[in-house]
Amino acid sequence: MDPGTAVALLVAAFASLFMAWAIGAGSSGSTPFAPAVGANAISVMRAGFVVGILGLAGAYLQGANVTEAVGRELVVGVSITPTAAIVGLLTAAILVAIGVFTGYPIATAFTVTGAVVGVGLALGGDPAWAKYREIVSLWVAVPFVGGGIAFATAKLLRDERVPEPVAVPVLAALIGVILANVEFVILGPAGEARGLAAALAGAVLTLGGTVPEPSTLLVTKVAVTVAFALLVAGVLRRDIVRDEAAGQRHFLLALGGLVAFSAGGSQVGLALGPLLPILDDAPVTIPLTVLLFGGGLGLLAGSWTGAPRMIKALAQDYSSLGPRRSIAALIPSFAIAQSAVFLGVPVSFNEIIVSAIIGSGYAAGGAGVSGRKMLFTVLAWIGSLVLAFAVSYGAFLGVSALLG
């Protein structure tokens, strides 16, 4: 490898780490525990510490799908060069960092997607229209689906006709169903992810040394999922009956942890994706798991050093949340995040959490939801996508002209 290429790779790696820090300080570091902080279930500093650890775990165990999508599926016909990766990552990271320091949550998925598409088209690539339709469909659906589910859940929890020891365990059982089917690389064979329910079902059925039929495997998987959901509901019901306030707080913190883990699995791909085409030509092969762990460390650093400011902004400026509305906000957030990870679609956690917070807030007649803050946030989301695309496109053409 010639010295110029080596330097470009090092600069691209630095830009990726800077992007990971910015994401950790903004999207993945601030959003998961913001509702819990708003409900006074955990302090701002402790939330930043915990979310960093869980984000690192999520990045390592679930980050592959989104990383591949960002690195290889946003533009067709060309491969991202080191210069393009540097321009795209720095553009996105600077915009996200501006959002962190001004207190407005910039949508990281919008920003990174716009920047990567911008440099890719400037390279002469073609738009990946099928992938764009998939991404935009999810982005448009998130506020309505997440906000709608949060609104309905908050209404259910506020309904005096539904006892707390019944409503909360039922919601916990739904979370258990999702959690039992979340796929992890470590649970599957080489190169394949598998959920806890599928792994346990396969292990039980293969004890006799025979390969199970697909139908038998499916029935066993469903049975394991139901059993796991009932176990989660039973444990939480016991906690609620013993102390209702403590049970709510424990459920809220568990949900925050699950969302933090999911954030790491989704957001790390935004920082690492542009590096994949570059590393294909590197003289030394770097395993994807090593890259994911390194990106997770970047998220961790951002969460520990920069997240508290954004946690406060999300927890206090958008809506005055109690424990019930916070639970209502985090349930759809976890479900949407895991759906995006499974599909390999980059999604903004700021959009997910803010939409859910607003939906749960309106269930209480508005509950302090700031219309002005909402308007500026939506404009910031749209502006970040357009600005990232335009700046990265123009910057890459300018840098290419300077370098000849």
- pLDDT tens readout for residues 55-96: 899 999 888 888 988 988 999 988 888 888 889 888 888 887
Does residue 324 lie in a domain region?
Answer: yes
Does residue 136 lie in a domain region?
Answer: yes
CA–CA separation, 63 and 363 (whole Å): 34
CA–CA separation, 232 and 246 (whole Å): 16
Does residue 193 lie in a domain region?
Answer: no
More reliable by pLDDT, 138 or 211:
138
247-293 confidence digits (pLDDT tens)? 888 998 899 899 889 988 888 988 898 888 888 776 677 888 888 99
Contacts of 113 (CB under 8 A, 6+ apart): 70, 74, 135, 346, 385, 388
The helix-helix angle for 64-72 and 288-312 (nearest 10°) equals: 100
Domain residues for 365?
3-158+261-329+347-403
What single-letter DSSP state applies at residue 275? G
Return the minimum-mean-pLDDT range out of 27-36, 375-384, 395-404: 27-36
- φ, ψ of residue 227 to 5 degrees: the values are -65, -40
Structure tokens at 52: 């960093």
Q: Where are the beta strands (DSSP E) in 67-205?
A: 75-76, 126-127, 183-184, 194-195
Does residue 213 lie in a domain region?
Answer: no
Please answer whether residues 67 and 287 qualify as being in contact, where contact means their C-beta atoms are separated by less than 8 angstroms: no
Does residue 370 lie in a domain region?
Answer: yes
Contacts of 383 (CB under 8 A, 6+ apart): none
pTM: 0.85
128-139 confidence digits (pLDDT tens)? 999 999 999 999
Give the other-Cβ count within 10 Å of 283's Cβ. 7
Please answer whether residues 360 and 285 qualify as being in contact, where contact means their C-beta atoms are separated by less than 8 angstroms: no
Q: How many domains are there within the chain?
A: 1
Contacts of 251 (CB under 8 A, 6+ apart): 168, 171, 172, 236, 239, 327
Does residue 169 lie in a domain region?
Answer: no
Contacts of 360 (CB under 8 A, 6+ apart): 35, 150, 151, 153, 154, 319, 321, 325, 326, 328, 329, 367
Average pLDDT across the chain, whole number: 84
Does residue 384 lie in a domain region?
Answer: yes
CA–CA separation, 78 and 81 (whole Å): 9
Return the minimum-mean-pLDDT range out of 47-51, 224-228, 338-342: 47-51
Does residue 337 lie in a domain region?
Answer: no
